[in-house]
Structure 1
Amino acid sequence: MTVQTVNGTVVLHLPVEGAPIATGQDALDLLGDAWGSGAELVAVPASRLAASFFDLRSGHAGEFVQKLVNYRMRLAVLGDISAQVAASDALGAFVVESNRGAHVWFLDGPDELARRLAQTG
């Protein structure tokens, strides 16, 4: 994990390599890491998210995101999820709605995250 300040926001970047992430417990573990590093936002590579995260019927995405939002930790999922979105209208709607807000974003990568943080802080 690396921590860097991006346009005034302390971001905890998870590495591409590592165990799949999806559950509420994973979110709590991530919160501990984020708080320990002083992060305000966690950037998770899309490739680290378990397939069940993108299947909204599993409830994993909702539980994961809700835990982070409840504890006021912002989340950025970084990477191409176009295949998953193409396979699920519900996921597409979830991504669009999330990207309208300030707490959960689905972005192409670190450059797009930096642009978004420059706009919103």
Structure 2
Amino acid sequence: MIDYIKGNNTTIAVIDDSEVVIDSVNAALDLVMTINYESGADKIVISKEAITEEFFVLSSGLAGEILQKFINYHIKFAVYGDYSKYTSKPLKDFIYESNQGKDFFFVETKEQAIEKLND
């Protein structure tokens, strides 16, 4: 289910789902196209549970491929959830570096994700 929040001259799509919605690059692109068609939104907030675990295994390449597509389509993306179970230093570094930028964020709560994309 996708909710839309309007604010600061923008629309943010919020996906608060416990079932996996993004399990491949094609699924991510389909989601982006659906959201853009329905609302024109170019900002997406999604729960960590709605993304396949493979995304968080950097060696799979899935995160890099998806985020590159989002850059190409000018999509800003925030994932919220609990990352404490991950021990991979490369993943922790990736999350840290993403959070220093302006396009992709990994935060704990939906409210923080919305706030990041509303800036």
TM-score interval for Structure 1 and Structure 2 normalised by the shorter chain: 0.7 to 0.9
Please give the TM-score of this superposition, normalised by the length of structure 1: 0.86
Letter paired with 2:108: D
Q: Hey, what does 2:44 align to over in structure 1? A: 42
Alpha-carbon shift at residue 24 of structure 1 (Å):
1.2
What number of residue pairs does the alignment pair up?
Answer: 117
State which drifts further: 14-23 or 105-114.
14-23
Q: How does 1:82-121 map to 2 (within 5 A)?
A: 82-84=84-86, 87-117=87-117, 121=119
Kept in 2, the 8 Å contact 1:23–1:63? The answer is no
Q: How does 1:1-121 map to 2 (within 5 A)?
A: 1-36=2-37, 37-84=39-86, 87-117=87-117, 121=119
Provide the aligned C-alpha RMSD in A.
1.6
Alpha-carbon shift at residue 22 of structure 1 (Å):
3.4
Percent identity between the two aligned chains = 31
Runs of 4+ residues deviating >6 angstroms: none
Alpha-carbon shift at residue 11 of structure 1 (Å):
0.7
In the alignment, the residues of structure 1 paired with residue 48 and residue 117 of structure 2 have an alpha-carbon distance, to the nearest angstrom, of 19
For structure 2, which runs of at least 5 residues remain unmatched after alignment? none
In the alignment, the residues of structure 1 paired with residue 56 and residue 117 of structure 2 have an alpha-carbon distance, to the nearest angstrom, of 24
Kept in 2, the 8 Å contact 1:26–1:64? The answer is no
In the alignment, the residues of structure 2 paired with residue 29 and residue 114 of structure 1 have an alpha-carbon distance, to the nearest angstrom, of 22
Change (3 A) 1:115 1:12: closer
Structure 2 SS opposite 1:83: coil
Structure 1 SS opposite 2:77: strand
